[in-house]
């Protein structure tokens, strides 16, 4: 093995040689500089590889010919190898990224960089506490200078602040070190730790606590803990992004490793204090980050937050409260290292600091994709390392009884998601404010390559961790593989991409569905079949639509994985994958920036509830895999039930938690809206199905909980319908209607009897068909008219008869009147509710479906009837692929309406023996305890009635006279503008007035207030970072006092 001493020899030797080399041959310095960094990196990688494969033992390197404690020693164990390898990799990539800037500043800057790298390696490797101090100072001095490298006022100020803070830290560190040396007589970290114990009770013991305090205090400053971290924010903010990347990724990691070595010296009493400090920093930094408008500083807040989280993990791990904490810490660290560096690098390429102007990056799809990838990684989305770490962290914390910690960590993560995706929203949708839209971001090839390299590495680590963590990782990987494979087709015509996606979904379904049974079979057929039909509808796209198909495929695939999951981790993995992909789909809508952010924040909050629910359920395996869940196990208790149900209620947009849904459903691209509201909304239904199966009805409080969920379902159905009736925007109308319809399904499931479940599942399919149909029809209309406001349409029946028929069929099915599928759903639902004794809920559900007539009528009347607007007199029927998909759905609706048994019988089989059998079939008639239903007969009766009425009308009415469209006369006066004779604006004003009392958007106001409060707190708190170095010094001392108080509490 190469002794790690060579790391220092190479760094120092080359650093001194560089000026000479540059004199000997111009341009040689860069090559040698990069070669030196590669050499350093190779040494650490060699150690890592050998240790991983077991080819060598842990390396103990002694210097000066003596054994410790008489000399300084270095150690290369697994942890050291991982950290140095990661740091050297990042710094090597960072050097490539910075090479032009560094060489532009001359060899001095490269010397500094080498010293910086050497210092960090030393901090990780050394086992001597004073040596640790020296390496810390070397790293520090090099970073002060690198921060000020550009010699601008901002950078110089930041360098000065950094140096002042660093000096304070080193003063306290030295004081601590010298007292510890006086007490223990050694500087060797391992010996100190063992000797410290023997001093309890002696005279020296009085000095131990202050010495340890000063040591920890110094490292806490280096770790940038709240509130002693204003200087660090200014550093991230002011340095060149390439340098900030290295400080955030590299030196923060080295500082973390240092404190990991120091904490055992400090002793057990300090673990808790350090963990609390870390969590406070994590929450505070992310909260304050909410108000941040500048990219560099935003990343600074995020970096500091991540350091706090890592400190918490390491301290709790050392305390022994977190099993497998090493895995958590390494996952979080590598994730932070690569993703944070990647985002800093991107900031350097765009050269744009205000996040509002990040629209500049949207013209470079590759860079945008990289940004999305880093964002996903940083926010802990699968399959990236932080996802696995956070999962393990929350699981272990819950099993260790640390529930309050979980709350804070999830809260901090939520803040982080909010500001990161706010930024990403600007990048995708923001455009450019100052009219500099002509600028196209240009990255030099080596910078772009470095970013790609970082992303690739992150993906590789993700793949490795995934293989270790999740059962059946190949199956779980399929959605990602599909999406990645589709990226290869990005340069092809959109229709080719669409057909390839369609083929992929069909093939995947063909491979997977025959082997399934039960709920997985139902939901997989539903998601994949529905997805295929919706994919067909997207084929009319002519525009570039970059990234649309990969994300769509990812979403369909993750829904399928969700239905296939057999463990809670698999479920949560698929759930998060689905959240991310659908977020991107929503964000693709033109005005979707804010709705998409709202969707992301609510989804993340819901997902955290789900995660906490799984954690609190402990080892309960959660999932729908085939026979594994036959029968009610009753294994869930109240807390997990409430958490999981709350998480799923967010997804189904239950009243109160629904504020994200209208915007997200309506503002997505038109064909995405159809997919999201008809298919994706069923993911929450699936969640409830799995939850109720697992929970059963036997646990304490179950009666109240189910009844609460039932009521929420009924109220959601009512308000969804009511709000839908008041919309002017056709897509908003359908969005509200979808919210209401899902409410019926939840109501049916919560009834917990056979009829209710059959009703819910049947209605899921039925809702998919008619809502998909309506959304696609409206998509066609919007595509042709270019507006979504219904009052601007009218009279389109002549121009778009096919779409008219679709909408007609759709609303008949939706409104739940015979003979179409909606009727069956409602009939079953009322039966279920009466059987359960939920009469009031049944009444409310019935009233809601009456309200639904209002908006159904509106849809037909405002869009298709009345006088056509002049502008739309010559528009064409909707594109063919949209129509084709609609008519497939119509055929399905007709088939299921005529013969409901082909749908209901399998559903009854799937619901199975879980409940007492209430429904029975006799031939084509379905019998419930309260009545019977024959779909075919109903259809025949209705058709006959209509036929008879038509005949009577034809007979009794006089000979009809054909009237041209504008041949109309009002009170003997011809209107000048006939199109105004069809009024559609504020159509239901009387009802609106009647309901005005309950139409107040209370939930929206409540959540707005929550958001405003969070922002106000952030806005207030961030003023402590005044930019004044003097104030920062005072804050460092205040932090010292707080830490002292905390440690006394922790020690006692």
Partner 1 sequence: MKAVLVIGLLLMLTGFYGLMTRRNMIKMVLSVAITEVGLQMVMITAGFIRGGTAPILTEDITELASFVDPVPQALVLTAIVIGVAVNALMLAFIIRMYGKRGSLDVRDYTDSKW
Q: Which is nearer to partner 1, 210 or 628 (CB)?
A: 210
Q: Which is nearer to partner 1, 263 or 298 (CB)?
A: 298
Stretch 295-314 residues interacting with partner 1 (CB under 8 A): 297
Asked if residue 258 binds partner 1 (CB under 8 A), the reply is: no
Both structure tokens of 201: 């009770």
Asked if residue 1025 binds partner 1 (CB under 8 A), the reply is: yes
Shortest spacing between CB 153 and partner 1, in angstroms: 5
Distance separating alpha carbons of residues 882 and 522, to the nearest angstrom: 26
User: Looking up tokens 């406001």, which residue turns up?
Assistant: 789
Scanning 99-107, 542-550, 843-851, 1021-1029 for contacts with partner 1 by CB under 8 A, the matching segment is 1021-1029
Question: Pairing between strand 925-928 and 920-922?
Answer: antiparallel
Stretch 217-236 residues interacting with partner 1 (CB under 8 A): 233-234
Scanning 120-128, 162-170, 764-772, 893-901 for contacts with partner 1 by CB under 8 A, the matching segment is 162-170
Polymer length in residues for the chain: 1052
Q: Of 954, 1030, 1041, 1052, which lies in the binding site for partner 1, with binding defined by CB under 8 A?
A: 1030
Closest among 627, 644, 624, 649 to 699, alpha carbons compared = 644
Scanning 337-345, 484-492, 541-549, 1031-1039 for contacts with partner 1 by CB under 8 A, the matching segment is 1031-1039
Distance separating alpha carbons of residues 773 and 779, to the nearest angstrom: 10
Q: Of 47, 113, 135, 144, which lies in the binding site for partner 1, with binding defined by CB under 8 A?
A: 144
Extended beta strands in 516-582, E state: none
Helix (H) or strand (E) holding 928: strand 925-928
- What phi and psi values does residue 435 have, to the nearest 5 degrees? 70, 15
Shortest spacing between CB 1051 and partner 1, in angstroms: 24
Asked if residue 61 binds partner 1 (CB under 8 A), the reply is: no
Q: Which is nearer to partner 1, 87 or 136 (CB)?
A: 136
Q: What angle do CA 101, 102, 103 make, to 5 degrees?
A: 95
Q: Which is nearer to partner 1, 135 or 757 (CB)?
A: 135
What is the x/- site pattern for partner 1, positions 98-127, by CB under 8 A?
A: ------------------------------
523 with 624: CB under 8 angstroms?
yes
Q: Of 1022, 1039, 1043, 1047, which lies in the binding site for partner 1, with binding defined by CB under 8 A?
A: 1022
Q: Which is nearer to partner 1, 128 or 792 (CB)?
A: 128
Q: Of 193, 484, 1033, 1051, which lies in the binding site for partner 1, with binding defined by CB under 8 A?
A: 1033
Asked if residue 352 binds partner 1 (CB under 8 A), the reply is: no
559 with 551: CB under 8 angstroms?
no
Asked if residue 128 binds partner 1 (CB under 8 A), the reply is: no
Q: Which is nearer to partner 1, 153 or 967 (CB)?
A: 153
274 with 226: CB under 8 angstroms?
no
Stretch 898-927 residues interacting with partner 1 (CB under 8 A): none
Helix (H) or strand (E) holding 933: strand 931-934
Cα–Cα separations (whole angstroms), residue 818 to 218, 892, 932: 76, 16, 14
Scanning 143-151, 343-351, 405-413, 910-918 for contacts with partner 1 by CB under 8 A, the matching segment is 143-151
Cα–Cα separations (whole angstroms), residue 72 to 6, 126, 423, 635: 15, 8, 47, 56
HSE-CB for 26 with a 13 A CA cutoff: 1
Asked if residue 159 binds partner 1 (CB under 8 A), the reply is: yes
Distance separating alpha carbons of residues 493 and 572, to the nearest angstrom: 35
Measure CA of the first residue to CA of the last residue in the chain; give whole Å.
Answer: 46
Both structure tokens of 340: 């944070």
Q: Which is nearer to partner 1, 656 or 1027 (CB)?
A: 1027
Asked if residue 12 binds partner 1 (CB under 8 A), the reply is: no
Shortest spacing between CB 183 and partner 1, in angstroms: 10
Distance separating alpha carbons of residues 810 and 860, to the nearest angstrom: 10
What is the x/- site pattern for partner 1, positions 711-750, by CB under 8 A?
A: ----------------------------------------
User: Looking up tokens 């030099």, which residue turns up?
Assistant: 444
Q: Which is nearer to partner 1, 964 or 1023 (CB)?
A: 1023
Q: Of 154, 873, 905, 982, which lies in the binding site for partner 1, with binding defined by CB under 8 A?
A: 154
Coil vs helix vs strand at 955: helix
Q: Which is nearer to partner 1, 242 or 687 (CB)?
A: 242
Distance separating alpha carbons of residues 31 and 367, to the nearest angstrom: 27
Q: Which is nearer to partner 1, 524 or 1035 (CB)?
A: 1035
Closest among 204, 200, 162, 213 to 182, alpha carbons compared = 204
Q: Which is nearer to partner 1, 168 or 486 (CB)?
A: 168
HSE-CB for 39 with a 13 A CA cutoff: 21
Size of residue set near partner 1 by CB under 8 A: 48
Asked if residue 463 binds partner 1 (CB under 8 A), the reply is: no
Q: Of 3, 50, 103, 160, which lies in the binding site for partner 1, with binding defined by CB under 8 A?
A: 160
Q: Of 194, 1037, 1048, 1049, which lies in the binding site for partner 1, with binding defined by CB under 8 A?
A: 1037
Q: Of 31, 71, 167, 198, which lies in the binding site for partner 1, with binding defined by CB under 8 A?
A: 167
If one counts every other C-beta atom within 10 angstroms of the C-beta of residue 922, the result is 9
Helix and strand counts by DSSP (H, E) for the chain: 40, 5
Closest among 363, 355, 354, 483 to 420, alpha carbons compared = 355
Asked if residue 241 binds partner 1 (CB under 8 A), the reply is: no
Provide the phi-psi class of 923: left if phi over 0, else alpha when psi is between -120 and 50, else beta: left
Scanning 155-163, 262-270, 704-712, 848-856 for contacts with partner 1 by CB under 8 A, the matching segment is 155-163
**Sites of contact with partner 1 (CB under 8 A):** 130, 134, 137, 140-141, 144-145, 148, 151-154, 156-160, 163-164, 166-168, 170-171, 174-175, 177-178, 181-182, 187, 233-234, 237-238, 291, 297, 1022-1023, 1025-1030, 1033-1034, 1037
């Amino acid at each position: 093995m190469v002794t790690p001493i060579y790391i220092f020899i190479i760094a120092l030797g080359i650093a001194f040689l560089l000026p000479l080399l540059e004199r000997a041959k111009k341009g040689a310095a860069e090559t040698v500089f990069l070669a030196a960094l590669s050499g350093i990196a190779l040494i650490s990688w060699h150690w890592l590889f050998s240790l991983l494969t077991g080819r060598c033992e842990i390396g103990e390197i002694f210097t000066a010919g003596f054994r410790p404690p008489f000399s300084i020693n270095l150690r290369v164990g697994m942890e050291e190898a991982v950290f140095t390898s990661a740091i050297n990799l990042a710094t090597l990539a960072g050097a490539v990224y910075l090479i032009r800037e560094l060489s532009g500043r001359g060899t001095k800057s490269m010397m500094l960089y080498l010293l910086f790298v050497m210092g960090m390696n030393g901090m990780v490797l050394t086992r001597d506490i004073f040596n640790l101090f020296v390496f810390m100072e070397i790293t520090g001095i090099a970073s002060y200078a690198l921060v000020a490298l550009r010699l601008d006022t901002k950078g110089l100020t930041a360098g000065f602040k950094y140096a002042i803070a660093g000096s304070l830290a080193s003063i306290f560190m030295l004081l601590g070190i010298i007292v510890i040396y006086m007490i223990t007589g050694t500087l060797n970290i391992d010996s100190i730790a063992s000797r410290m114990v023997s001093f309890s009770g002696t005279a020296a013991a009085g000095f131990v606590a202050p010495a340890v305090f000063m040591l920890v205090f110094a490292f806490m400053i280096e770790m940038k803990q709240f509130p002693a971290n204003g200087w660090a924010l200014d550093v991230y903010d002011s340095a060149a992004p390439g340098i900030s990347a290295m400080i955030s990724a590299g030196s923060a990691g080295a500082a973390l490793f240092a404190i990991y070595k120091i904490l055992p010296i400090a002793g057990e009493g300090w673990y808790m204090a350090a963990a609390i400090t870390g969590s406070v920093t994590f929450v505070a930094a992310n909260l304050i980050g909410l108000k941040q408008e500048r990219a560099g500083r935003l990343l600074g807040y995020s970096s500091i937050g991540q350091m706090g989280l890592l400190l918490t993990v390491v301290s709790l791990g050392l305390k022994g409260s977190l099993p497998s904490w090493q895995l958590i810490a390494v996952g979080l660290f590598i994730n932070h290292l690569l993703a944070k560096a990647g985002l800093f690098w991107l900031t350097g390429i765009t050269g744009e600091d205000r996040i509002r102007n990040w629209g500049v990056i949207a013209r470079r799809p590759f860079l945008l994709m990289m940004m999305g990838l880093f964002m996903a990684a940083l926010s802990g989305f699968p399959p990236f390392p932080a996802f696995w770490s956070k999962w393990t962290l929350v699981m272990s914390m819950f099993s260790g009884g640390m529930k309050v910690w979980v709350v804070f960590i999830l809260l901090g993560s939520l803040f982080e998601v909010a500001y990161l995706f706010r930024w990403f929203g600007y990048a995708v949708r923001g455009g450019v404010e100052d009219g500099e839209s002509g600028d196209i971001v240009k990255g030099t090839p080596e910078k772009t390559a470095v970013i790609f390299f970082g992303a690739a590495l992150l993906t590789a680590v993700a793949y490795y961790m995934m293989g270790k963590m999740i059962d059946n990782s190949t199956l779980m990987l399929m959605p990602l593989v599909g999406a990645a494979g589709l990226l290869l087709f990005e340069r092809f015509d959109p229709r080719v991409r669409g057909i390839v996606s369609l083929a992929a979904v069909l093939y995947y379904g063909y491979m997977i569905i025959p082997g399934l049974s039960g709920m997985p079979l139902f939901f997989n057929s539903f998601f994949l079949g529905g997805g295929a039909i919706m994919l067909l509808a997207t084929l009319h796209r002519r525009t570039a639509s970059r990234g649309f198909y990969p994300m769509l495929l990812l979403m369909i695939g993750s829904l399928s994985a969700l239905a296939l999951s057999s463990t809670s981790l698999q479920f949560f993995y698929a759930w998060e994958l689905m959240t991310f992909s659908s977020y991107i789909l929503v964000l693709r809508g033109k005005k979707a920036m804010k709705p998409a952010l709202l969707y992301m924040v609510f989804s993340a909050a819901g997902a955290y509830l789900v995660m906490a629910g799984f954690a609190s359920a402990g080892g309960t395996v959660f999932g729908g895999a085939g026979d594994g869940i036959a029968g009610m196990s009753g294994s869930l208790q109240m807390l997990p039930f409430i958490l999981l149900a709350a998480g799923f209620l967010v997804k189904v947009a239950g009243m109160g938690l629904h504020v994200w849904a209208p915007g997200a459903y309506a503002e997505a691209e038109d064909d995405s809206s159809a997919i999201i509201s008809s298919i994706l909304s069923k993911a929450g239904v699936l969640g409830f199905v799995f939850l109720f199966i697992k929970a059963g009805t036997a646990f304490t409080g179950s009666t109240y909980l189910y009844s609460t969920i039932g009521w929420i379902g009924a109220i959601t159905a009512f308000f969804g319908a009511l709000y839908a009736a008041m919309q002017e925007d056709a897509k908003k109308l359908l969005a509200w209607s979808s919210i209401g319809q899902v409410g019926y399904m939840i109501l049916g499931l919560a009834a917990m009897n056979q009829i209710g479940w059959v009703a819910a599942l049947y209605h899921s399919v039925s809702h998919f068909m008619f809502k998909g149909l309506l959304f696609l029809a409206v998509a066609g209309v919007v595509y042709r008219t270019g507006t979504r406001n219904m009052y601007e349409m009218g009279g389109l029946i002549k121009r778009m008869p096919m779409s008219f028929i679709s909408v007609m069929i759709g609303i008949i099915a939706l409104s739940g009147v015979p003979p179409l599928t909606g009727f069956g759903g409602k009939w079953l639902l009322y039966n279920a509710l009466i059987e359960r004794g939920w009469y009031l809920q049944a009444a409310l559900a019935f009233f809601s479906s009456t309200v639904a007539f209002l908006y159904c009528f509106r849809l037909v009347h405002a869009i298709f009837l009345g006088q056509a607007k002049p502008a739309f007199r010559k528009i064409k029927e909707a594109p063919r692929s949209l129509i084709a998909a609609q008519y497939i759905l119509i055929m399905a609706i007709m088939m299921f309406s005529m013969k409901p048994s082909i749908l209901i019988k399998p559903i009854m089989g799937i619901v199975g023996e879980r409940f007492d059998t209430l429904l029975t079939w006799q031939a084509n008639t379905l019998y419930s305890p309260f009545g019977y239903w024959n779909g075919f007969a109903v259809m025949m009766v209705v058709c006959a009635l209509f036929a008879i009425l038509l005949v009577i009308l034809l007979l009794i009415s006089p000979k009809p006279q054909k009237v041209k469209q504008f041949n109309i006369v009002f009170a003997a006066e011809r209107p000048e503008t006939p199109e105004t004779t069809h009024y559609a604006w504020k159509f239901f004003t009387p009802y609106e007035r009647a309901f005005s009392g309950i139409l107040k958007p209370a939930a929206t106001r409540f959540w707005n207030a929550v958001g405003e409060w969070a922002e106000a707190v952030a806005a207030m708190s961030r003023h402590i970072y005044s930019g004044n170095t003097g104030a920062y010094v005072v804050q460092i001392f205040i932090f010292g006092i707080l830490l002292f108080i905390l440690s006394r509490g922790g020690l006692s």
